[in-house]
Structure 1
Amino acid sequence: MLSHNVQLHIQALLNDTCTFNTVGGGSINDTYRIKTDKQTFFCKINSQATLPGLFDAEQSGLALLASQQLIRIPKVIANEQINGTQILILEWIEQGLRSDAFWETFGRQLATLHHVHHNQFGLATNNYMGALPQSNKLTDSWTDFFIHQRLQPQINLALDHKLLEPAHAKHFEKLYQQLGVIFQAEPPTLLHGDLWSGNFLCDDKGKPVLIDPAVYYGHRSMDLAMTTLFGGFDARFYESYNYHFPLPTNYRQQWEVCNLYPLLIHLNLFGKSYLADILNTIRQY
């Protein structure tokens, strides 16, 4: 449970008496619903020593997405530290039913977001993908960025922890030689960065809400691939996206290759149960 000092600090921030209840959705954070007499908030708690700057990065990502005014993003109420504890307080999103119209809107809005471009791949600052640091060094080439800022750091980490073998790394090197053919030239696109089914909501008006971003400018297939990794997205979402921003003919190949990054993240965080999916992809190359 929250320490008494942290509870007092939050009550001072909100200028009201609060009740705190634990809620789901916190794989790396402790998460709470905070209720005052007038409002409800969502609160995340983590250790500053364990994941330094985690909520600063999240706040920046939410602000970048919100500034586009294309998809609803939760408002940040407070981002504070006290005695080594990070505190992020967001508006509470009341949830509704995911209708056909919701999925069609979500596909259209993501397609519109993917028309927000930059002159380089990456981001001016680094952030996190789950509990692992994510390097966003600005790069002119997508394939260079994908290799050196996405795949190779995770491969090196997995090799260090004996989760991958040197022979596996050689398969990746063969894949690298083909990336220029797999990914046709597209401008750097603003991405959510971690778009699995746990990182969006449907609000009480039936509209999409994006949460927990790992933003950067990259190839749009990174977002779309991630939607397929654990399911949870309706066919109407993809139909709507494709109508508003047509997919390349080899989009399934692109998605399979893009998902190597989150699979490597999961390999490093959770172990070898993710290795078979990685090997099934890289052995094709």
Structure 2
Amino acid sequence: MISPDTMLFLEERLSQVFERTIQIAGARPVSGGSINVAFLLHTSTGEFFFLKVNDPELYPGLFGKERLGLMSIPVRTPNVLVEEISGLHQLLVMEWIPSGSRTERFWENFGQALAGMHQITGPGFGLNYDNYMGSLPQINEWRETWVDFFREQRLERQAKLATDTGLLPKRWLKNLEGLYYELPSIFPEEKPSLVHGDLWSGNFICDQQEMPVLIDPAIYYGHRSVDLAMTTLFGRFHPRFYEAYHAHFRLPENYEQQWEIANLYPLLIHLNLFGGSYLESVTETLKQF
């Protein structure tokens, strides 16, 4: 549970934000991702806020980088109200967004919004700061091409971690080398897109106006296939999502192949975080090369 000192600290900071007295009446544990402790805060006047708590020594700058990511996304995101370190905890307080119904209209709105976001481009592939993908550091050093960035900053780093820990047998590195040779033909040159970076089904909300709200970003300027691929990783989104996206930002003919290869990165992440149950998914893709 939240300590009395932390509760008083949050009341003080929220009172400063809203320029009126905020009294927290209670805190209920809720889901906040695999590495955070999270609470739904309710106040004496019936307001609600979402609180994440984590260890600043284990994950330095985690919430500061999450705040920067949320602020960079043109699609609606929760407003960040407090992002500070108090004692042994880093704290992130955001507005609480009630969920609405995921109608076909919502999925159309979502597809159109993501297509618009992906048309925001940058000076290259990467970002001017590193962030996190789950609990793993995500390195975003700039590269001029997607092929170089994807190979060096995504696949090679995660494959090395997996082989160093024995999770990925070293014989599969030959298949990775074969994949690297094919990457230019799989991903023809395309401008960098602003991507969410971790767009699985748990990282968005449908608000009560049937509009998408994005949460838990791992942003950078990358290839738009990384977001679209992740929407298929644990079961595809509604067909209207893809139809609306395609209508506003045409998909390439080989988009299915691009998505399969792009998903190697989150699969390697999952292999490194959660162990051997993800090895078969990684090796099934690598067998092609």
1:242 to 242, 246, 249: 246
Q: How far apart in 1 are the matches of 2:235 and 2:41?
A: 30
Give 1:241 shift.
0.5
1:17 equivalent in structure 2:
23
Q: How far apart in 1 are the matches of 2:135 and 2:2?
A: 21
Give 1:3 shift.
2.1
Q: Is 2:12 aligned against 1:27?
A: no
- What are structure 1's unaligned runs of at least 5 residues? none
Please say if residues 32 and 52 of structure 2, whose CA atoms lie closer than 8 Å, have aligned partners that are also in contact: no
Q: What SS class does the counterpart of residue 123 from structure 2 fall into?
A: coil
Q: How far apart in 2 are the matches of 1:220 and 1:13?
A: 38
Please say if residues 119 and 187 of structure 1, whose CA atoms lie closer than 8 Å, have aligned partners that are also in contact: no
Give 1:246 shift.
1.1
Q: How does the TM-score come out when normalised to structure 2?
A: 0.95
Please say if residues 126 and 133 of structure 1, whose CA atoms lie closer than 8 Å, have aligned partners that are also in contact: yes
Q: Is 2:144 aligned against 1:140?
A: yes
The AA in structure 2 aligned to 1:35 is H
Q: Is 2:63 aligned against 1:63?
A: no
1:44 to 52, 55, 60: 52
Please say if residues 40 and 48 of structure 2, whose CA atoms lie closer than 8 Å, have aligned partners that are also in contact: yes
The AA in structure 1 aligned to 2:5 is N
Q: How far apart in 2 are the matches of 1:250 and 1:279?
A: 21
1:54 to 21, 40, 62: 62
Please say if residues 32 and 43 of structure 1, whose CA atoms lie closer than 8 Å, have aligned partners that are also in contact: yes
Q: How far apart in 2 are the matches of 1:260 and 1:232?
A: 16
1:251 to 236, 246, 255: 255
1:30-179 map, 5 Å: 30-36=37-43, 37-65=45-73, 68=74, 71-179=75-183
The one-character-per-residue Cα deviations of 1:119-175 (angstroms, maximum 9, x if unpaired) are: 200000000001100000011011010011011111111011100111111110110
Q: What SS class does the counterpart of residue 149 from structure 1 fall into?
A: helix
Q: How far apart in 2 are the matches of 1:249 and 1:211?
A: 30
Q: How far apart in 2 are the matches of 1:153 and 1:93?
A: 36
Q: How far apart in 2 are the matches of 1:46 and 1:20?
A: 16
Identity %: 51
Please say if residues 162 and 271 of structure 2, whose CA atoms lie closer than 8 Å, have aligned partners that are also in contact: yes
Q: What SS class does the counterpart of residue 14 from structure 1 fall into?
A: helix
The one-character-per-residue Cα deviations of 1:59-89 (angstroms, maximum 9, x if unpaired) are: 0000111xx3xx2111000101011310000
2:199 equivalent in structure 1:
195
The AA in structure 2 aligned to 1:123 is L
The AA in structure 2 aligned to 1:150 is R
The one-character-per-residue Cα deviations of 1:217-253 (angstroms, maximum 9, x if unpaired) are: 0000000000000125101101111111111111010
The AA in structure 2 aligned to 1:20 is A
Q: How does the TM-score come out when normalised to structure 1?
A: 0.97
Q: What SS class does the counterpart of residue 43 from structure 1 fall into?
A: strand
Q: How far apart in 2 are the matches of 1:115 and 1:222?
A: 14
Give 1:38 shift.
4.5
Q: Is 2:275 aligned against 1:267?
A: no
* RMSD of aligned alpha carbons: 0.9
Give 1:4 shift.
2.3
Please say if residues 114 and 190 of structure 1, whose CA atoms lie closer than 8 Å, have aligned partners that are also in contact: yes
1:227 equivalent in structure 2:
231
The AA in structure 2 aligned to 1:47 is D
